[in-house]
């Protein structure tokens, strides 16, 4: 199990690279509005063309998130979602999908409360492939990193427009799976990404690391996803999907809407990569 | 180590009691637990603060502002009547309530505003609970011609309306925070979100000894003037050091300010008093050191009010300034090391402290301070008459008069 975890992410990136595609990473918050709906939505995202699933672990104080994901977190917590229940849901997803890489994104405190080794072991057993703890920079990550490695899980780190060359190098030494470039100064879902700036930053990152580079925070439309896909190895979309969930009239209608929206994103990304002059 | 006690801003590594370490940790506590975007601005802030510490001109300006703008030194006052009434220890009050703007908070905002000006930042943001820090931040922003935005929980805006109007008069923009419990922790979340979004031109003045490194250290250093003065005043007025020093603890900046210069004086007992709300046993309180568990929130590892799943739980206190689920990481370290001890008193007990000081000494204290007073009322009678106890009167109570009236069923 432990060897497959990191490999599932790696393998997915290799398959996509061979086809000239960028990966579409989709984020939704687990338990928003309830666990059964989340499970159905995850499968819908995969049907629509999501290459990697990113699952938001709800936290009471999501400091890096904008209002959309804050509200999703509050809805999930009101429904009783916990980190242990997130892992149970991952295991349920894995019962019917053993191929799609799946990473958790959340804040450190619920993981600390569970205990690093207990969490890493349970996450690997459930079928998680990687973890991004938003408020855990590499400087504070030595102990957690050791437990993650021992469990065979990828540790995903953020890089930001404010990251210095030294920090980029330090983060890339610790990172596995892929690195997550935060495309804007701000919180999730905040302001639109500046494609030209992101393109040059991604090029600079790729000179430092051999890991795939994903870009998120501010990608909301097929057009932006396509433009970012020309530069990055992965495009991460979250708040736009969470808004679809928030505004849905029914769960089946929501699953259909998610699938359709994701297909639009993925088609735009593939078209942009296929366009003359791309890459 | 006694030499450095007299310097205005502590130098790293000058004493065994001089935490944090180079990476901002107090033992296992503290640190920098923030998203990547804030790591560079925190490093920039630390570099700027190190320059300030080493610059005699900065220190001279800070000291001049404390003297001429804040009104320092604040008196150390022997509360003879109250001491006699309680029948035990001699109680001395460190009168931070007499500072400009009415609380200790101004010591820190004056210091951070000087750092902000040096860094060329023209826009200030701050979080506030009771509004005292918000007022102190708005005050220094007005003085330096900086724009200022203060985040405040919607619940706190209601119970501290006087301070909200003061901030607006000073030209600050008060942003109501309606997420979560609508109190101080949510205001901190929102201020951090603002900072990460407007990081290029914004200086975030954190109001307490919490947050990511270097804030716990920097805020402590700016507040240590309280303890340095107290130490010298006690030696001059009593002829010796106090036997005990008491202070209320929410985030813990007034307590850290008065405790820290006494850390090497191991005979001086340091006691922090947390907000016990309806009682520790009810779970409805704000006393993480008394009944919490270590975890990570708002950029540092410290004792937190949290549930078994690591979610932060809502806190309860009559005092908006203590209504916070965490506490400065250095307090967590002082608790574990045994150098300071921490107790809690309830809302009802705090009100008794409020009324006692008001009626017996003619000093209307803040509800935050009233927690320390309430513990003194319980403890002082058991102590000998030559026990010298200093209590930090962290702020004045004008802002709390509506809360006290409501509690007493009086409509104003």
- Could you give the CA distance from residue B137 to residue A60 in angstroms, rounded to a whole number? 27
Question: Is B44 designated active site?
Answer: no
Contact indicator for B394, B97 with CB cutoff of 8 Å: yes
Chain B residue numbers with beta carbons less than 8 Å from the beta carbon of A61 are 180, 185-186, 189, 297-298, 312
Quick one: A247 exposed, middle or buried, by C-beta within 10 A (0-12, 13-18, 19+)?
exposed
Distance from CA of A47 to the nearest CA of B (A): 32
Task: Provide the residue count of chain A.
Answer: 279
Q: What Rg do the C-alpha atoms of chain B give, in angstroms? A: 19
Q: Are A52 and A12 in contact (CB under 8 A)?
A: yes
**Which residues of chain B neighbour A135 with C-beta distances below 8 Å?**
33-35, 296, 299
Q: In the numeric block, which tokens belong to residue A244? A: 């679809």
Helix-strand-coil percent breakdown of chain A, rounded to 5?
Answer: 55, 15, 35
Beta bridge partners of B340: B270
Number of H helices, E strands in chain B: 17, 15
Inter-chain contact A112–B295, Cβ cutoff 8 Å? yes
Residues of B in Cβ contact (< 8 Å) with A190:
197
- Does A185 lie at the interface with B, CB-CB under 8 angstroms? yes
The stretch A254-263 carries a mean pLDDT of 98
**B337 noted as active-site residue:** no
Quick check: bond before A87 cis, omega within 30?
no
- Catalytic residue, candidates A14, A15, A61, A65: A65
Q: Do A61 and B199 touch (CB under 8 A)?
A: no
Give me B106's structure tokens: 């101004």
pLDDT interval class at A5 (50, 70, 90): low
Could you tell me the residue ranges of all domains in chain A? 5-274
Gap between the Cα atoms of B407 and B352, Å rounded: 12
Task: Give pLDDT, residue B10.
Answer: 54
Question: Is the C-alpha dihedral spanning A264, A269, A274, A277 positive or negative?
Answer: positive
Stretch B329-352: mean pLDDT: 97
Name the packing angle between helices B105-118 and B56-65 (round to 10°).
140
Among A155-169, B69-83, B96-110, B246-260, the minimum mean pLDDT is found in: A155-169
Q: pLDDT band for position A85 (50/70/90)?
A: very high
CATH of A5-274, one of 3.20.20.70, 1.20.140.10, 3.40.470.10, 3.40.50.970: 3.20.20.70
Residue of A nearest to B298 (CA): A63
- Residue in chain A lying closest to B293 (CA): A113
Residue B171 CB-density burial (10 A; 0-12 exposed, 13-18 middle, 19+ buried): middle
The pLDDT tens digits for A149-177 are 999 999 999 999 999 988 998 899 889 99
Give the pLDDT score at B412: 76
Indicate if the pLDDT at residue B17 is higher than 70.
Answer: no
The pLDDT, as a whole number, for residue B359 is 97
Query: Using alpha carbons only, what angle is made at residue A193 by residues B198 and A30, rounded to the nearest 5 degrees?
Result: 90
* Measured distance CA(A232)–CA(A255) in Å, rounded: 27
What is the per-residue DSSP string for B295-357?
Answer: EEETEEEEEE-B-TTSPBPP---S-GGG--S---HHHHHHHHHTSEEEEEE-HHHHHHHHHHH
What are the pLDDT digits (tens) for A177-225? 999 999 888 888 877 888 899 999 999 999 999 999 999 988 999 999 9
Contact between residue A155 and residue A148 where contact means Cβ atoms under 8 Å apart: yes
Query: Which is higher by pLDDT, A247 or B180?
Result: A247
pLDDT computed for residue B7 by the predictor: 55
**Residue A87 pLDDT greater than 80, yes or no:** yes
Over residues B25-29, the mean pLDDT reads 96
**Which residue in chain A has the smallest CA separation from B212?**
A135
Q: Find, in chain B, the residue whose alpha carbon is nearest to that of A134.
A: B35
pTM given for the model: 0.95
| Contact between B297 and B177 (Cβ < 8 Å) | no
Place of tokens 């004045």: B396
Residue B181: the pLDDT is 83
Given a cut of 60, whether residue A3 has pLDDT beyond it is no
Q: Which helix (H) or strand (E) holds A142?
A: helix A142-150
Region A18-27: mean pLDDT is: 98
pLDDT at B110 over 60: yes
Q: Does A111 touch chain B (CB under 8 A)?
A: yes
Q: Is the Cβ–Cβ distance between B372 and B343 less than 8 Å?
A: no
Which tokens hold the place of A91? Answer: 């295991």
Banded model confidence at residue B213, pLDDT cuts 50, 70, 90: very high
Please tell me whether the interface predicted TM-score (ipTM) of this complex is above 0.90.
Answer: yes
The answer to whether the CB atoms of B310 and A171 lie below 8 A apart is: no
Greater pLDDT, B59 or B160: B59
The whole-angstrom separation of Cα A42 and Cα A38 is: 6
B298 to chain A: which residues are within 8 Å by CB? 61, 63
- Chain B interface disruption, residue of A69, A137, A215, A216, most B CBs within 10 A: A137
Total beta-carbon pairs less than 8 A apart between chain A and chain B? 123
Average pLDDT over residues B81-107: 98
């Amino acid at each position: 199990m432990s060897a497959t975890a990191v490999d599932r992410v790696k393998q997915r990136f290799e398959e996509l690279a061979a086809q000239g595609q960028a990966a579409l990473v989709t984020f939704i918050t687990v338990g928003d509005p309830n666990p059964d709906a989340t499970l159905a939505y995850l499968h819908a995202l995969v049907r629509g063309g999501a290459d990697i699933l990113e699952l938001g672990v709800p936290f009471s104080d999501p400091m890096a998130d904008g209002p959309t994901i804050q509200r999703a977190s509050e809805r999930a917590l009101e429904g009783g979602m916990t980190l242990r229940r997130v892992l149970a849901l991952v295991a349920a997803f894995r019962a019917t999908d053993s191929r799609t890489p799946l990473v958790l994104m959340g804040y450190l405190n619920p993981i600390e409360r569970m205990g690093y080794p207990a969490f890493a072991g349970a996450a690997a057993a459930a079928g998680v492939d990687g973890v991004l703890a938003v408020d855990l920079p590499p400087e504070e990550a030595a102990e957690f990193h050791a437990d993650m490695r021992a469990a065979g899980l990828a540790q995903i780190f953020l890089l930001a427009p404010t990251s210095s060359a030294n920090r980029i190098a330090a983060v890339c030494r610790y990172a596995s799976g892929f690195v997550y470039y935060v495309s804007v100064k701000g919180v999730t879902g905040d302001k639109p990404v500046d494609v030209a700036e992101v393109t040059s930053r991604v090029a600079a990152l790729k000179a430092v690391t051999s890991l795939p580079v994903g870009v998120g925070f501010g990608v909301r439309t097929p057009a932006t996803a396509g433009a970012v896909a020309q530069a990055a190895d992965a495009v991460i979309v979250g708040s736009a999907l969470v808004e679809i969930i928030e505004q849905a009239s029914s769960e089946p209608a929501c699953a259909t809407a998610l699938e359709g929206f994701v297909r639009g994103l993925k088609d735009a990304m593939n078209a942009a990569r296929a366009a003359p002059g791309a890459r | 180590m006694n030499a450095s006690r007299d310097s205005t801003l502590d130098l790293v590594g000058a004493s065994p009691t001089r935490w944090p370490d180079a990476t901002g940790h107090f033992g296992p506590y503290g640190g920098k637990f923030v998203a990547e975007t804030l790591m560079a601005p925190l490093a920039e802030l630390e570099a700027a603060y190190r320059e300030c510490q080493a610059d005699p001109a900065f220190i001279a300006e800070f000291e001049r502002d404390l003297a001429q703008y804040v009104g320092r030194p604040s008196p150390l006052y022997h509360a003879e009547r109250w001491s006699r009434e309680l029948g035990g220890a001699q109680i001395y009050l460190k009168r931070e309530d007499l500072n400009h703007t009415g609380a200790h908070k101004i010591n820190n905002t004056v210091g951070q505003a000087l750092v902000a000006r040096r860094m060329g930042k023209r826009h200030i943001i701050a979080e506030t609970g009771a509004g005292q820090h918000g007022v102190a931040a708005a005050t220094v922003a007005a003085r330096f011609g900086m724009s200022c935005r203060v985040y405040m929980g919607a619940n706190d805006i209601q119970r501290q309306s006087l301070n909200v109007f003061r901030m607006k008069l000073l030209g600050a923009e008060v942003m109501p925070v309606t997420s979560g419990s609508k109190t101080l922790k949510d205001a901190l979340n929102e201020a951090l979100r603002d900072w990460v979004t407007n990081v290029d031109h914004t200086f975030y003045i954190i109001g307490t000894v919490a947050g990511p490194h270097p804030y716990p250290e920097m805020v402590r250093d700016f507040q240590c003037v309280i303890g340095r003065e107290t130490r010298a005043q006690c030696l001059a007025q009593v002829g010796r050091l106090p036997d005990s020093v008491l202070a209320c603890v929410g985030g813990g900046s007034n307590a850290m300010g008065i405790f820290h210069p006494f850390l090497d004086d191991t005979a001086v007992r340091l006691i922090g008093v947390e907000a016990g709300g309806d009682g520790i046993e009810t779970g409805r309180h704000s006393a993480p050191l008394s009944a919490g568990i270590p975890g990570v929130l708002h950029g540092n590892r410290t004792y937190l009010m949290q549930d078994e799943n690591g979610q932060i739980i809502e806190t309860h206190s009559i005092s908006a300034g203590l209504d916070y689920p965490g506490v400065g990481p250095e307090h967590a370290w002082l608790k574990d090391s045994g150098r300071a001890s921490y107790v809690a008193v309830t809302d009802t007990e705090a009100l008794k402290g409020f009324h006692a000081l008001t009626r017996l000494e003619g000093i209307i204290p803040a509800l935050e301070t009233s927690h320390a007073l309430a513990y003194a009322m319980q403890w002082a009678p058991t102590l000998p008459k030559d026990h010298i106890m200093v209590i930090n009167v962290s702020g004045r109570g004008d802002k709390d008069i509506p809360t006290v009236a409501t509690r007493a069923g009086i409509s104003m």
